[in-house]
Amino acid sequence: NRYRQKNDLAYSYEVIKKSKLIRFFKSTGYEFYNYSIFDFKGQPAAMNLGLLPAKTKLITSQTFLSRVNRDLSYHLVTFLKSKKEIRKRVYSNKVNNEQSYRSTIEISKKKSPKPKFVYTHLEMPHYPYYYDKNGKEQPFEKLEEDYQVHKPAYIEYLQYSNAKLLELIDHILKNSKEPPIIILMGDHGFRHFTEKVEDKYHFLNLTSIHLPGKNYENINDSMSGVNLFRVILNRQFKQNLPYLKDSTSYLND
């Protein structure tokens, strides 16, 4: 579906901030750790969201200045040849990924009397494509906007990302006292096509799940993200949530 509401994105941020899922886990005794780009009530985003401070991102998301910042800031700093600002913008995802990845491993090692709900958001293999498949850093010139649609660079970064994610999952499994629930899930598919494609290709998201007991009934390739946690909550936490119609949506800002 393509929503045409003016404030889709801002509304979604607000729903995320007041997440019912997080409230549920907290009510059942879980500690929540936020290693993502999103603000949650009482736990702001841990990541740097760009040139605007994270706390003002939602408030200003519909203002003229915010749109200028979002749409023109890269071109502006490029025009002014501000190397410091260009590098800061180009490498911001890399810094965020490394920080979030490291924090996830560290919290998996931490002993706690309470169970943990850890939300980690890694922008991998999101553009820019920082590494080749062997983990060698790409030169700065290959991280600029012209390389968003560079298929070989994307595939190599995808291979690198796969290896890092498998390594992260191994750490979580090794450090977990009890068998953990692990959800590895993309929030969107590849976006930088050189020609028009069917909408479905934008939503070809990877979803891989590890459940204690390994009972994966009702979890199949056709299930969209809207029902994933409903299945898990019903099965693992004895809830009785109704399932929604499987669907995907574009969000407009």
Dump pLDDT digits (tens) for 173-183: 999 999 999 99
CA distance 111 to 233: 24
Q: State the pLDDT at residue 225.
A: 86
CA 67 to chain centre: 22
Evaluate if residue 86 carries a pLDDT over 70: yes
Per mean pLDDT, which range of 62-66, 152-156, 243-247 is the poorest? 62-66
CA distance 214 to 228: 15
Q: State the pLDDT at residue 55.
A: 42
- Tell me the mean pLDDT in the region 11-34: 94
Q: Which amino acid belongs to residue 94?
A: K
Kindly report the average pLDDT of the chain as a whole number: 83
The closest of 118, 109, 104 to 164, measured between CA atoms, is 104
Domain boundaries, the chain: 8-236
- Tell me the mean pLDDT in the region 104-109: 97
For 28-48, write each residue's pLDDT tens digit: 999 999 999 899 988 998 776
Q: State the pLDDT at residue 202.
A: 83
What residues contact residue 244 under an 8 Å CB cut-off, 6+ apart?
Answer: 226, 227, 230
Phi-psi region of 179 (alpha: psi -120 to 50; beta: other; left: phi over 0): beta
pLDDT band for position 51 (cuts 50, 70, 90): very low
pTM (2 decimals)? 0.82
CA distance 102 to 35: 10
